[in-house]
Structure 1
Amino acid sequence: MRVAIAGAGAVGRSVAQELIDHGHRVLLIDKAATSIRSDLVPGAQWLLADACEMSTLEEAQLQTCDVVIAATGDDKANLVTSLLAKTEFTVPRTVARVNNPSNEWLYGESWGVDVAVSTPRIMAALVEEAVAVGDLVRLFTFRQSNINLVELTVPADSAHVGRRLGDINWPDGVTPVVILRHQEALPPEADRTVEAGDELLFVTPADAEAELAALLAPRPS
């Protein structure tokens, strides 16, 4: 897979190294000469240019990329890069970094963003996930499809403790992804039973979240 990353700061370089370690080809683009540090990510290609300029993206041959990641510290630049990648170069997948949560509403299909990554929102979700039992926590939103990755820690008095996953009538569109139990990640097999304290991860439509939360809620007292 070929990936172009706009923004060669600490975030962009870290993502680039992870992708290279997994066997992908990566191009890092940055307009600041001080950010061009090929010694830090020697396996990447580097381009000193402005990723918001069409000429830069043409030079980068963005049409050959499978994914474009807009990872600069400037939300406007990330949106412009995503829009150009999607509309002018028909890149299949765009991922954009959200720096200011108040700008998050812009990161959608109209600006060519498939996946928006908001560090403040992710950190807040992880805090909620660590302390909330019985409450559904939204971890991630797939913008283009209005599908969410959510987590729920099963309370001890849930009506479904001890039941097989395959016997539970999940809401339409809801798919169990993994069970986290005693520091183990377990596949959601139909014969596996639900235990108190299980962390269940689901892919679910947004409009099914309330029904899913109610399904696993504690028994009425």
Structure 2
Amino acid sequence: MGEMRIAIAGAGSVGRSIATELAGNGHDVLLIDRDTRAIGVDDLPQVEWLLADACELATLEDARLGDFDVVIAASSDDKVNLVVSLLAKTEFAVDQVIARINDPANEWLFDDSWGVDLAVSPPRLIADLVEGVSEEDHPEEGTLPPLPGAEIAESVLHAASPFADRPERDLTAELPEGVALVAVLGPGGVRPPAPERTLSVGNTVVFLAEPDALGPLEELLERVEDSEESASEG
């Protein structure tokens, strides 16, 4: 019932990791890239792929982009991500367009004038972490008004989180239905999900979630270790 059609432009490490995670959760995922080596068909058996230039209108017409619920522009080239976002929104009226910002200097471009519903800027998120800026300080960032399809949610792991200092698989095993972990941000930058890797206090975990799953996800992420938090909460 909760299956979504998701197109991802850019089959680098970020695009591939998002595709693997979402396809593993039962969504219908299409990866678009010009580079056959990037696609790696055998490595991603659950993912459809299209070997073509995502910036060309004909390519997106071939992909029937208008049938997709979400388009993620995840390439390492900001120009590509802007063009894909604009085409997805203006030519195909895709409900949810998410774009990756690679160069913080280009951040001002990534807004609704380019068809972007949500821009993810890893350098800014990491800077916020370093400066101790929390989600409450930027209530407009990381959350979107209700839209059909999916939304981005993010949370910073605190010391009392039951998932701090534990492998990512412990978190993903408890995620509500309709939620996928798509990235982890830390001092070393952005990295795709890795089940065996340990989550640390201060890491930002980023999810793609169906609107109905946001409440259960927030409850899970706000859960605290019983022992320490009762003393510090008060």
Q: TM-score range by the shorter chain?
A: 0.5 to 0.7
Aligned-partner Cα distance in 2 for 1:43–1:140: 34
What is the match of residue 121 of structure 1?
124
1:150–1:140: structure 2 CA closer, same or farther, 3 Å change rule?
farther
CA contact (8 A) 1:36 1:46 kept: yes
Q: Are 1:141 and 2:141 counterparts?
A: yes
Q: Is the 8 A contact 1:140 1:150 kept in 2?
A: no
Deviations for 1:71-123, whole angstroms, at most 9, x for unmatched residues? 00000100000000000000000000000011111110000000101111122
Moved runs in structure 1, 4+ residues, more than 6 A? 148-151
Once the two structures are superposed, residues 157-196 of structure 1 have per-residue CA deviations (whole angstroms, 9 ceiling, x without a partner) of: xxxxxxxxxxxxxxxxxx9x55353389xxxxxxxxx977
Answer yes or no: is 1:182 the counterpart of 2:225.
Answer: yes
Q: Which has the higher strand share?
A: 1
Match of residue 28, structure 1, among 27, 31, 40: 31
CA shift digits 1:16-61 (9 cap, x unpaired): 0110111100000001222120122110001110000000000000
Do the aligned partners of residues 142 and 135 (structure 1) sit closer, same or farther apart at CA in structure 2, a change above 3 Å counting? closer
Cα distance change of structure 1 residues 24 and 43 upon mapping to structure 2, 3 Å threshold: same
Partner SS, residue 55 of structure 1:
helix
Alignment of 1:94 with 2:97, yes or no, is: yes
Among 65, 68, 75, the alignment partner of 1:65 is 68
Name the CA shift for 1:149/1:17 in 2 (closer, same or farther; >3 Å): closer
What does residue 10 of structure 1 align with? 13
* 1:80 aligned partner, one-letter code: V
1:69-80 matched pairs, under 5 angstroms:
69-80=72-83
Give the letter for the 1:81 counterpart. Answer: V
Distance in 2 separating the partners of 1:180 and 1:90: 38
Paired residues, number: 163
Structure 2: tracts of 5 or more residues without a match = 146-152, 159-214
- Give the TM-score of the pair, scaled to structure 2: 0.60
2:114 matched to 1:111? yes
Q: Is the 8 A contact 1:70 1:96 kept in 2?
A: yes
| TM-score normalised according to structure 1 size | 0.64
RMSD in angstroms over aligned alpha carbons?
Answer: 3.3
| Structure possessing the higher relative contact order (Cα contacts under 8 Å, 6 or more residues apart) | 2
- Structure 1: runs of 5+ lacking an equivalent: 154-174, 185-193, 199-221
